[in-house]
Structure 1
Amino acid sequence: MSDSSSSEPPENRRNRPRPRTIKSGKLFFGGFHKTVFDCLVLDLSETGVRIETAVMIDAPETAFLQIQDEMIGPMTKRWTAGNQIGFEFAPRGG
Protein backbone atom coordinates (compact mmCIF):
# COMPACT_ATOMS: atom_id res chain seq x y z
CA MET A 1 0.00 0.00 0.00
CA SER A 2 1.33 3.44 -0.80
CA ASP A 3 2.07 6.07 1.80
CA SER A 4 0.98 9.25 0.05
CA SER A 5 1.06 11.30 3.25
CA SER A 6 4.75 10.80 3.98
CA SER A 7 6.60 14.04 4.65
CA GLU A 8 9.96 12.84 3.28
CA PRO A 9 10.98 10.81 0.24
CA PRO A 10 11.43 7.17 1.24
CA GLU A 11 14.94 7.02 -0.25
CA ASN A 12 16.05 4.31 2.16
CA ARG A 13 13.31 1.93 0.99
CA ARG A 14 14.41 1.73 -2.66
CA ASN A 15 15.25 -1.67 -4.11
CA ARG A 16 17.77 -0.12 -6.52
CA PRO A 17 19.77 3.10 -6.41
CA ARG A 18 18.17 5.98 -8.27
CA PRO A 19 20.81 8.22 -9.89
CA ARG A 20 20.26 11.95 -9.49
CA THR A 21 19.48 13.79 -12.68
CA ILE A 22 17.98 17.13 -13.64
CA LYS A 23 15.78 16.98 -16.72
CA SER A 24 12.66 18.83 -17.74
CA GLY A 25 9.52 16.81 -18.21
CA LYS A 26 5.76 16.93 -18.33
CA LEU A 27 3.40 15.08 -15.99
CA PHE A 28 0.14 13.93 -17.63
CA PHE A 29 -3.00 12.65 -15.95
CA GLY A 30 -6.74 12.68 -16.40
CA GLY A 31 -9.05 11.12 -18.92
CA PHE A 32 -10.64 12.96 -21.82
CA HIS A 33 -9.57 16.38 -20.49
CA LYS A 34 -5.88 15.79 -19.84
CA THR A 35 -4.07 17.78 -17.18
CA VAL A 36 -0.42 18.60 -17.87
CA PHE A 37 2.16 20.03 -15.46
CA ASP A 38 5.74 20.99 -16.27
CA CYS A 39 8.14 19.31 -13.88
CA LEU A 40 11.78 18.62 -13.13
CA VAL A 41 12.96 15.03 -13.04
CA LEU A 42 15.26 14.83 -10.01
CA ASP A 43 16.04 11.09 -9.96
CA LEU A 44 15.30 8.40 -12.51
CA SER A 45 15.81 4.62 -12.45
CA GLU A 46 14.38 1.56 -14.17
CA THR A 47 11.76 1.25 -11.43
CA GLY A 48 10.74 4.81 -10.60
CA VAL A 49 11.18 8.55 -10.65
CA ARG A 50 11.17 11.55 -8.31
CA ILE A 51 9.82 14.75 -9.80
CA GLU A 52 9.30 18.29 -8.60
CA THR A 53 6.59 20.67 -9.78
CA ALA A 54 6.60 24.48 -9.48
CA VAL A 55 3.56 24.36 -7.20
CA MET A 56 2.03 21.71 -4.95
CA ILE A 57 -0.45 19.59 -6.89
CA ASP A 58 -2.87 16.85 -5.94
CA ALA A 59 -1.52 14.26 -8.35
CA PRO A 60 -3.71 11.19 -8.84
CA GLU A 61 -2.58 7.66 -8.11
CA THR A 62 -1.82 6.98 -11.80
CA ALA A 63 0.00 9.29 -14.25
CA PHE A 64 2.32 9.40 -17.25
CA LEU A 65 5.60 11.28 -17.67
CA GLN A 66 7.07 12.73 -20.86
CA ILE A 67 10.83 13.37 -21.01
CA GLN A 68 11.82 14.87 -24.35
CA ASP A 69 10.02 12.64 -26.91
CA GLU A 70 9.64 9.59 -24.64
CA MET A 71 6.35 8.87 -22.87
CA ILE A 72 6.74 6.80 -19.69
CA GLY A 73 3.89 5.14 -17.87
CA PRO A 74 1.63 4.23 -16.45
CA MET A 75 3.22 5.10 -13.10
CA THR A 76 1.80 4.77 -9.59
CA LYS A 77 2.20 7.54 -7.01
CA ARG A 78 4.06 6.24 -3.94
CA TRP A 79 4.63 9.40 -1.89
CA THR A 80 4.45 13.19 -1.86
CA ALA A 81 6.53 15.73 0.07
CA GLY A 82 5.76 19.38 -0.68
CA ASN A 83 6.28 19.91 -4.41
CA GLN A 84 8.01 16.55 -4.88
CA ILE A 85 6.28 13.33 -5.92
CA GLY A 86 7.67 9.82 -6.11
CA PHE A 87 6.28 7.43 -8.72
CA GLU A 88 6.89 3.75 -9.34
CA PHE A 89 6.76 2.51 -12.92
CA ALA A 90 4.33 -0.27 -13.77
CA PRO A 91 6.09 -3.60 -14.38
CA ARG A 92 6.70 -4.26 -18.04
CA GLY A 93 5.01 -7.36 -19.40
CA GLY A 94 7.29 -9.89 -21.09
Structure 2
Amino acid sequence: MNDATSSKDPLPENRRRMPRARTLKAGKLLFGGFHKTSIDCLILDLSDSGVHIETAVMINTPETAFLKIQDEIIGPLQKRWASGNQIGFDFITKKD
Protein backbone atom coordinates (compact mmCIF):
# COMPACT_ATOMS: atom_id res chain seq x y z
CA MET A 1 0.00 0.00 0.00
CA ASN A 2 1.47 3.38 -0.90
CA ASP A 3 1.32 6.52 1.24
CA ALA A 4 -1.55 8.05 -0.77
CA THR A 5 -3.89 5.16 0.07
CA SER A 6 -2.75 4.49 3.62
CA SER A 7 -5.63 3.86 6.00
CA LYS A 8 -3.91 6.12 8.56
CA ASP A 9 -4.89 9.29 6.67
CA PRO A 10 -8.68 9.66 6.17
CA LEU A 11 -8.41 12.85 4.10
CA PRO A 12 -6.52 12.00 0.87
CA GLU A 13 -8.18 13.55 -2.14
CA ASN A 14 -7.80 10.46 -4.32
CA ARG A 15 -9.94 8.32 -1.98
CA ARG A 16 -13.12 10.27 -2.74
CA ARG A 17 -15.67 8.67 -5.04
CA MET A 18 -16.93 12.05 -6.24
CA PRO A 19 -15.08 15.39 -6.33
CA ARG A 20 -16.16 17.80 -3.62
CA ALA A 21 -16.54 21.52 -4.10
CA ARG A 22 -14.65 23.54 -1.51
CA THR A 23 -17.12 25.69 0.38
CA LEU A 24 -17.20 27.56 3.65
CA LYS A 25 -20.75 27.65 4.97
CA ALA A 26 -22.15 27.70 8.47
CA GLY A 27 -24.41 24.82 9.40
CA LYS A 28 -25.71 22.69 12.23
CA LEU A 29 -25.17 18.98 12.76
CA LEU A 30 -28.41 17.45 14.07
CA PHE A 31 -28.72 14.08 15.79
CA GLY A 32 -30.62 12.28 18.51
CA GLY A 33 -34.36 11.68 18.63
CA PHE A 34 -36.24 14.55 16.99
CA HIS A 35 -32.86 16.22 16.34
CA LYS A 36 -32.57 17.11 20.02
CA THR A 37 -28.82 17.70 19.74
CA SER A 38 -27.62 20.57 17.54
CA ILE A 39 -23.92 21.33 17.06
CA ASP A 40 -22.69 24.37 15.12
CA CYS A 41 -20.33 23.41 12.33
CA LEU A 42 -18.47 24.75 9.33
CA ILE A 43 -19.06 22.95 6.03
CA LEU A 44 -15.64 22.67 4.41
CA ASP A 45 -16.61 20.85 1.24
CA LEU A 46 -19.67 19.27 -0.31
CA SER A 47 -20.47 16.85 -3.15
CA ASP A 48 -23.40 14.84 -4.44
CA SER A 49 -22.27 11.92 -2.28
CA GLY A 50 -21.11 13.52 0.97
CA VAL A 51 -19.91 16.37 3.11
CA HIS A 52 -16.81 17.26 5.15
CA ILE A 53 -17.47 19.39 8.23
CA GLU A 54 -15.55 20.89 11.12
CA THR A 55 -16.89 21.52 14.62
CA ALA A 56 -15.44 23.99 17.15
CA VAL A 57 -14.59 21.12 19.51
CA MET A 58 -14.20 17.37 19.23
CA ILE A 59 -17.52 15.58 19.70
CA ASN A 60 -18.59 11.96 19.88
CA THR A 61 -20.66 11.89 16.69
CA PRO A 62 -23.23 9.14 16.19
CA GLU A 63 -23.16 6.97 13.08
CA THR A 64 -26.15 8.79 11.53
CA ALA A 65 -27.08 12.48 11.59
CA PHE A 66 -28.64 15.31 9.58
CA LEU A 67 -27.19 18.63 8.48
CA LYS A 68 -29.01 21.96 8.54
CA ILE A 69 -27.83 24.68 6.15
CA GLN A 70 -29.88 27.86 6.54
CA ASP A 71 -33.47 26.53 6.54
CA GLU A 72 -32.77 23.30 4.63
CA ILE A 73 -32.26 19.97 6.39
CA ILE A 74 -30.07 17.53 4.48
CA GLY A 75 -29.79 13.84 5.24
CA PRO A 76 -29.74 11.32 6.56
CA LEU A 77 -25.95 11.16 6.70
CA GLN A 78 -23.72 8.19 7.53
CA LYS A 79 -20.45 8.93 9.33
CA ARG A 80 -17.56 7.79 7.15
CA TRP A 81 -14.64 9.00 9.27
CA ALA A 82 -13.72 11.39 12.08
CA SER A 83 -10.34 12.94 12.87
CA GLY A 84 -10.08 15.49 15.66
CA ASN A 85 -12.85 18.01 15.14
CA GLN A 86 -13.34 17.16 11.43
CA ILE A 87 -15.93 14.64 10.27
CA GLY A 88 -16.73 13.16 6.88
CA PHE A 89 -20.24 11.94 6.06
CA ASP A 90 -21.78 10.08 3.12
CA PHE A 91 -25.36 10.84 2.14
CA ILE A 92 -27.56 7.80 2.71
CA THR A 93 -29.56 7.04 -0.38
CA LYS A 94 -32.83 5.16 -0.25
CA LYS A 95 -32.92 1.90 -2.14
CA ASP A 96 -36.04 1.17 -4.15
Q: TM-score range by the shorter chain?
A: 0.7 to 0.9
Q: Structure 1, unaligned stretches of length 5 or more?
A: none
Runs of 4+ in 1 over 6 A off after TM superposition: none
Give 1 or 2: higher helix fraction: 2
Percent of residue pairs bearing the same amino acid type: 67
Which residue number corresponds to residue 19 of structure 1?
21
TM-score, length basis structure 2: 0.84
Change beyond 3 A, Cα 1:6–1:31? farther
Which residue number corresponds to residue 67 of structure 1?
69
TM-score, length basis structure 1: 0.86
Which residue number corresponds to residue 82 of structure 1?
84
Q: Structure 2, unaligned stretches of length 5 or more?
A: 1-6
The answer as to 2:10 corresponding to 1:8 is: yes
The answer as to 2:56 corresponding to 1:49 is: no
By relative contact order (CA 8 Å, sep 6+), the higher-ranking structure is 1
* Structure (1 or 2) with the larger CA radius of gyration: 2
